[in-house]
Amino acid sequence: MAKMNMIQALNSALDNMLEKDPNVVSFGEDAGYFGGVFRVTAGLQEKYGLDRSFDAPINEAAIIAMAIGMGVKGMRPVAEIQFADYIFPGLDQIVSELSRIRYRTAGQFTTPVTIRTPCGGGIRGGQTHSMSPEAFFTQIPGVQVVMPSNPYDAKGLLISAIESDDPVIFFEPKRLYNGPFDGDPGKALETWGKHPKGEVPEEHYSLPIGKAEVVREGNDVSIITYGTLVHVALAAAEREGIDAEIIDLKTLVPYDIETIAKSVNKTGRCIVAQEAPRTSGFGAELAAQIQEECFYALETPIYRIAGWDTPYPHAHEWAYFPGLTRFTTAMREVLEA
Partner 1 sequence: MTQSDPRFHVPAPHARPGDTPDFSHIEIPPAGEARKPAVDIDGSETRDLALGLVRVLDHNHQAVGEWDPKLDADVLREGLKHMVLTRVYDDRMLKLQRQGKMSFYMKSTGEEAVAVAAAMALDNTDMIFPSYRQQGILFARGRDIVDMMCHCISNSRDNLKGRQLPVHYTWAEGNFFSISGNLTTQFPQAVGYAMACQFKGEKQIAASWIGEGSSAEGDFHGALVLASTYKAPVILNVVNNQWAISTFQGVARGQGNTFAEKGLGYGLASLRIDGNDFLAVYAATQWAAERARAGHGATIIESFTYRADAHSTSDDPSGYRPKAEEEKWPLGDPVERLKQHLIGLGEWDEERHEALEKELNELVIASYKEAESHGTLHDGPLSPTHTIFEDVYVEPDWRLRRQRQDLGV
80 binding ligand TPP? (CB under 6 A): no
103 binding partner 1? (CB under 8 A): no
* 257: amino acid identity, one letter: I
Using CA atoms, how far apart are residues 62 and 66, in angstroms rounded to an integer?
Answer: 6
> In angstroms, what is the minimal distance from the CB of 32 to ligand TPP?
13
- ∠ CA 111-249-308, nearest 5°, is 100
322 binding partner 1? (CB under 8 A): no
Ranges of beta strands (E only) in the chain are: 2-3, 24-28, 53-55, 76-80, 114-119, 144-146, 168-173, 199-200, 213-216, 221-225, 244-248, 251-253, 270-277, 303-307
Residue ranges in 207-236 that form contacts with ligand TPP under rule CB under 6 A:
none
Indicate which of partner 1, ligand TPP, none lies near residue 171 (CB less than 5 to 8 Å, by partner kind).
Answer: none
Residue ranges in 20-39 that form contacts with ligand TPP under rule CB under 6 A:
29
Closest by CA to 174, choosing from 280, 272, 37, is 37
Peptide bond into 196 cis (omega under 30): no
Q: Which stretch binds ligand TPP (CB under 6 A): 9-17, 81-89, 270-278, 325-333?
A: 81-89
Cβ proximity to partner 1: between 104 and 316 the closer is 316
82 binding ligand TPP? (CB under 6 A): yes
Q: Is 195 a catalytic residue?
A: no
Using CA atoms, how far apart are residues 98 and 64, in angstroms rounded to an integer?
Answer: 8
Residue ranges in 112-171 that form contacts with partner 1 under rule CB under 8 A:
124-129
Using an 8 Å Cβ cutoff, are 207 and 151 in contact?
Answer: no
> In angstroms, what is the minimal distance from the CB of 166 to partner 1?
26
Where b means 16+ CB within 10 Å and e means fewer, 46-73 reads eebeeebbbbbeeebbebbbbbbebbee
> In angstroms, what is the minimal distance from the CB of 36 to ligand TPP?
11
> In angstroms, what is the minimal distance from the CB of 120 to partner 1?
16
> In angstroms, what is the minimal distance from the CB of 89 to ligand TPP?
6
Identified catalytic residue from 129, 195, 204, 231 = 129
Closest by CA to 309, choosing from 281, 270, 337, is 281
Convert residues 43-72 into a mask of x (bound to partner 1 by CB under 8 A) and - (unbound): ---xxxxxx--xxxxxx-xx----------
Strand duo 168-173 + 76-80: pairing: unpaired
> In angstroms, what is the minimal distance from the CB of 142 to ligand TPP?
24
Q: Which of 13, 17, 26, 29 binds partner 1 (CB under 8 A)?
A: 29
Q: Which of 171, 320, 321, 327 binds partner 1 (CB under 8 A)?
A: 320
Cα dihedral across residues 85, 88, 89, 94: positive or negative: positive
Using CA atoms, how far apart are residues 300 and 337, in angstroms rounded to an integer?
Answer: 6
Task: Give the active site residues.
Answer: 129
Interface contacts to partner 1, rule CB under 8 A? 18-19, 22, 29-30, 32-34, 37, 46-51, 54-59, 61-62, 85-86, 88-89, 124-129, 278-279, 308-311, 313-316, 319-320
Interface contacts to ligand TPP, rule CB under 6 A? 29, 58, 82, 86, 89
